[in-house]
C-alpha cells in the first residue's frame, strides 16, 4: 500500500485507494439521500462539456484535476481502508436494489469541473474515476 513512484503520481497506492474510498463514500451518501428524498435536490443544470465527454468516453485525462478537499487522502492505514471498503460494498449492493429509483431521480449535484450530475451520472462517473485510478495504480506497481 505504500508503493510509490513520483514519476507517475504524487500519491502512493494506498493514498489512491483512500481517495477512491472518500470519493465513493461522499457520492454514495448523496445518491442515497437523493433517491430517498428526491424533492430535496435541485433539478437545474446538467453536465458541462468536459462532464459530457468524461461520461461518454469513460476517460479522465491524467494530471488535469485537483481532488476536492474532502477526498484528499489523510493517511488511513490498511485495516481502516479494508473496513471502510466492506461498508462501501454493502452500500453499493443495497443501491443495486434501487436501480429504477436511481434512473428516474431528477436531483442533481454539482461536480467542480463536470457540472451538475444526476444520481445515475454520478454512479457512471465513479466507475470512470475508478478505472482512471486503477490505471495509475497499475503503472505505479509495474515499476516497483
Beta bridge partners of 117: 109
Please indicate, yes or no, if residue 112 is contained in any of the structural domains.
yes
Please indicate, yes or no, if residue 1 is contained in any of the structural domains.
no
Q: Domain count of the chain?
A: 1
Domain that holds residue 109: 13-142
57: domain CATH number? Answer: 1.20.120
Q: Classify burial at 32, counting beta carbons within 10 Å of its beta carbon; exposed 0-12, middle 13-18, buried 19 or more.
A: middle
Please indicate, yes or no, if residue 29 is contained in any of the structural domains.
yes
Please indicate, yes or no, if residue 71 is contained in any of the structural domains.
yes
Please indicate, yes or no, if residue 2 is contained in any of the structural domains.
no
Per-residue pLDDT of the chain (144 residues; tens, 9 = 90+): 789 999 999 999 999 999 999 999 999 999 999 998 866 667 789 999 999 999 999 999 998 778 999 999 999 888 989 999 999 999 999 999 999 999 999 899 999 999 999 999 999 999 999 999 999 999 999 976
Please indicate, yes or no, if residue 7 is contained in any of the structural domains.
no
Please indicate, yes or no, if residue 3 is contained in any of the structural domains.
no
Amino acid at each position: 500500500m505504500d508503493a510509490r513512484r513520483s514519476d507517475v503520481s504524487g500519491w502512493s497506492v494506498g493514498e489512491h485507494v483512500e481517495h477512491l474510498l472518500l470519493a465513493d463514500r461522499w457520492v454514495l451518501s448523496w445518491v442515497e439521500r437523493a433517491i430517498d428524498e428526491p424533492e430535496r435536490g435541485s433539478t437545474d443544470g446538467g453536465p458541462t462539456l468536459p462532464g459530457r465527454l468524461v461520461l461518454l468516453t469513460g476517460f479522465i485525462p491524467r494530471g488535469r484535476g485537483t481532488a476536492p478537499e474532502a477526498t484528499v487522502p489523510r493517511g488511513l492505514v490498511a485495516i481502516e481502508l479494508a473496513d471502510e471498503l466492506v461498508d462501501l460494498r454493502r452500500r453499493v449492493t443495497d443501491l443495486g436494489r434501487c436501480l429504477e429509483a436511481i434512473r428516474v431521480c431528477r436531483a442533481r449535484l454539482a461536480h467542480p469541473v463536470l457540472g451538475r450530475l444526476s444520481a445515475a451520472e454520478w454512479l457512471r462517473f465513479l466507475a470512470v474515476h475508478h478505472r482512471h485510478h486503477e490505471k495509475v495504480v497499475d503503472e505505479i506497481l509495474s515499476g516497483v
